Structure 1
Amino acid sequence: MEELFVRPRALMRMREGPLGVCIDTFIDSLAAKGYSRDSRRRAAWLVGDFSRWLDGRGVAAAAVAEDLVDAFLRGRRRRRAPRAEDRSTLLRLLAHLATEGIICTHSPERTPTAVEQIEAEYVDYMRHERNLAPATIHSNRITARNLLKFLFADGLLTFNTVTARDVIAHVRLATKTCRPNSACRVVGGVRAFLRFALYRGWLDTDMSSHIPAPAVWSQSSIPRSLQDDQVLRTIAQCDQATPSGCRDYAVILLLARLGLRAGEVVALQLEDIDWHAGELLVRNGQTRVDRLPLPYEVGQALAQYLSEARPRCSSRQVFLRAQAPMEGFSSGTAVAAIVRRALQRAGIDAPSKGAHVLRHTLATRLLREGSSLPEIGEVLRHRQQQTTTIYAKVDFPSLRAIAPSWPGGAQ
């Protein structure tokens, strides 16, 4: 606090009221998360005003709650122009007070509904028995929740009255505005939950086989990839002189050279990099761990980011946000955004703007250089060889060798 306010009178005002004893630790926590000096100074003024407002109403620190935050901000709005971050700053203060044990933010215990209990049990099954990836668990959870709300809208949870007609009606409603691939994911999620319901004994018959599949054929598309020069241009757009550019450079190299998925980049931990063995541990799901060799170019980019650009914080994730709060990426969406911005800066109209286009590009390049499909499947860590066979469609030299000649002569 002393570095933010030089005048002793200002420091005394910041520490007035019931929150005065914890304002120092709160400002220190903001500094640890990477907030700038100006941001911390504004937060201190705001918390100081809030503390004096509480003191004027005889509210103790242990009684601070979100409704008091809203009341304070409504009154403050009449006296001065509010800042967009005022409410989020005070909510962050409540979280800090809860961590310090000063207040209790737990809502009164409520008995979960039958639907919520089924949803929680389904998530536990997917996580521990199926070992599914977090993104898959989240998607299937939402699908199951929507299905249960549709089937039991009246509140009565009776699986023995559910018919295939009811399930199909929900699928038609849920996929009404979906594209074919999205409809496939919805149908797959519904089928997965119905098989779980059969496994738990809630259903007597397997209704998953009664749901018609959308008109999407396996292997009906070709992998969308970039040209080699486009990959180089994309990588070159990362300004390694800036912290965010150094981070983006390492992220794109992991995608382009090792073929990692966006979620696998997010899940990387500091201890997953074995510098002595030159290996990288890649996590997918709760128990699946693969070891990949760490190429020199990728290792150098990671070392540069970790030593020069990565902010200091308690998070063990390798890649962190560039702005406060300094914490790890929450999902693969952040990785996809890094790739999308790099493609835009390079002026590349890519067939796909997400991170997966670099994975397809790696497989296509390996195929062009003479690697076999089983070898590509090992690099991409496919569980089933059939998943890799889609790249046979871009193996043009092999396709030309088996293509029949054009009737009447070459065209």
Structure 2
Amino acid sequence: MSPKRSAASVRGPLAEYVPGFVQELSRLGYSKSAAKRQRQLVTQLSAWLEDEHLGLRELTAAGTEAFFQRRRDAGRANLRTPCALDPLLAFLRRSGVPEPEPPPTTDPALLFLERYRGYLRRERGLVEGTVRFYAHIAGLFESSVAGSDGPDFTHVTAGQVAQFAEAVCVGRGLSSARQAISALRSLLRYLRWEGGTVEALDQAVLSVAGWHTGGPRPVDPEQVGRLLSSCDRRRPLELRDYAVLVLLARLGLRGGEVVALELGDIDWRAGDFVVRGKGRHHERLPLPAEVGAAVAAYLRDGRPPSDSRRVFLRHYAPVHGLAGTGAIRSVLQRACARAGIAYISPHRLRHTAATEMLRAGAPLAAITQVLRHHSMTTTSAYAAVDPDRLRTLARPWPGAAA
């Protein structure tokens, strides 16, 4: 169907955007049948907006819920929720249509949380997933101490803080509890910085008792080999997965760092690349031959056409950069299933990379640099998995016989 004919058959406020949207769907790798369904959805939505005397400002989940409820009542098998509008909304934003502004709020609690999110993004440089979790803990704390007039932290006591810290850890595992306590400390420091409290209440938050048995748990090299060998590199999807796995297993990159890798981050001539790490820290690492060959093979033979600058893209429409660390976990789930082994997390492969570097004789300082730890103390935990190597690092006990 030609763009002119496509536009002529649509009425309503979306009519002028249909030709460009159809071309965008093709660019993003949608099949003809999927693109046709999207176009039909936009046609019906545009007519509904016109009939209801609504404009593009109402293109929100709440504003279009009645439209999708009608689709569900009619027994539609797909595109039944406002999430179906994601491709259209992304196209409209790129076309210069401003995003509808959320209705202004006067709720003091919501305003406080919005200020806190802004602080976490701007001042702390936290990634969006961490911002959401920290804001969630902040909302729980605010609810636990709020009065009838909204959030007032000036009279919060150390006892209330300790009581909340205990309550928020109930039902959580050790790692999750520690994250919640870290989020609480962050909030209390922010409150003092903002002037909401006078006392340094973060000092009233005790650390979570507990420990991980056995230290870092590296993956057996034989299992890593099976994991990598499970990828059929004749297939573009598994060519991508192989490159992802090599980055995780050989260099110990975090899942988010693999997702964030961009084409311009790799300097092929110098043989190194930039890692976009935690807290917006950018650091340059060497690119080993095995890792470089895997990434180059994907870029040459497996990466779909796209104007995205991300190295690793979705294999199916819409073709764009991987959405987050969940995509990396999916890569590992598929590889583990093919290899017939239990699921291995990205962080265990990070442990594995560190352990193998240690066993190969790399000094702790070099491993600390590769893993981008802030302290060599963190890296030294990996020495515990290799007793022979640990003996070479141990210092003599004071006063012991020479």
TM-score range, shorter chain: 0.7 to 0.9
Shift in CA distance, 64/399, structure 1 to aligned 2, threshold 3 Å: closer
TM-superposed CA distance for 1:224, in Å, is 0.8
Deviation track 1:158-189 (CA, whole Å, cap 9, x = no partner) reads 22221122122222221110112221111121
The correspondence of residues 71-110 of structure 1 with structure 2, limited to 5 A, is 71-76=66-71, 81-87=75-81, 88-90=83-85, 92-93=87-88, 96-97=91-92, 100=95, 105-110=100-105
Runs of 4+ aligned residues of structure 1 deviating over 6 Å after TM superposition are none
Match of residue 408 from structure 1: none
Structure 1: gaps (5+ residues):
403-411
Given residue 33 of structure 1, which amino acid in structure 2 is its aligned partner? Answer: L
TM-superposed CA distance for 1:134, in Å, is 4.8
Match of residue 28 from structure 1: 23
> Could you tell me how far apart the structure 2 residues matched to 1:100 and 1:190 are?
41
Please state whether the residue corresponding to 1:306 is helix, strand or coil: helix
> Could you tell me how far apart the structure 1 residues matched to 2:157 and 2:45 are?
57
Structure 2: gaps (5+ residues):
395-402
Larger Rg: 1
Match of residue 407 from structure 1: none
Tell me if structure 1 keeps the 8 A contact 2:7–2:16: no
Shift in CA distance, 32/360, structure 1 to aligned 2, threshold 3 Å: same
Match of residue 351 from structure 2: 360
Given residue 2 of structure 2, which amino acid in structure 1 is its aligned partner? Answer: E
TM normalised by structure 1 equals 0.84
Tell me if structure 1 keeps the 8 A contact 2:109–2:150: no
- Superposition CA RMSD, Å: 3.0
Shift in CA distance, 22/204, structure 1 to aligned 2, threshold 3 Å: closer
Given residue 2 of structure 1, which amino acid in structure 2 is its aligned partner? Answer: S
> Could you tell me how far apart the structure 2 residues matched to 1:62 and 1:198 are?
42
The correspondence of residues 11-410 of structure 1 with structure 2, limited to 5 A, is 11=5, 15-18=9-12, 19-52=14-47, 57=51, 59=53, 65=59, 69-76=64-71, 81-87=75-81, 88-90=83-85, 92-93=87-88, 96-97=91-92, 100=95, 105-111=100-106, 113-152=107-146, 154-217=148-211, 221-285=214-278, 287-349=280-342, 353-398=344-389
Q: Which region of structure 1 is more displaced relative to structure 2, 180-189 or 144-153?
A: 144-153
Given residue 209 of structure 1, which amino acid in structure 2 is its aligned partner? Answer: Q
TM normalised by structure 2 equals 0.85
Given residue 162 of structure 1, which amino acid in structure 2 is its aligned partner? Answer: V
Shift in CA distance, 155/178, structure 1 to aligned 2, threshold 3 Å: farther
> Could you tell me how far apart the structure 1 residues matched to 2:340 and 2:88 are?
43
Q: Which region of structure 1 is more displaced relative to structure 2, 391-400 or 319-328?
A: 391-400
Q: Percent identity?
A: 35
Shift in CA distance, 23/300, structure 1 to aligned 2, threshold 3 Å: same
Please state whether the residue corresponding to 1:161 is helix, strand or coil: coil
> Could you tell me how far apart the structure 1 residues matched to 2:316 and 2:189 are?
43
> Could you tell me how far apart the structure 1 residues matched to 2:97 and 2:367 are?
55
TM-superposed CA distance for 1:74, in Å, is 4.5
Tell me if structure 2 keeps the 8 A contact 1:363–1:391: yes
Given residue 257 of structure 1, which amino acid in structure 2 is its aligned partner? Answer: R
> Could you tell me how far apart the structure 2 residues matched to 1:289 and 1:190 are?
27
> Could you tell me how far apart the structure 2 residues matched to 1:65 and 1:132 are?
30
Shift in CA distance, 104/246, structure 1 to aligned 2, threshold 3 Å: closer
TM-superposed CA distance for 1:362, in Å, is 1.2
Match of residue 409 from structure 1: none
Tell me if structure 2 keeps the 8 A contact 1:261–1:359: yes
> Could you tell me how far apart the structure 2 residues matched to 1:200 and 1:13 are?
53
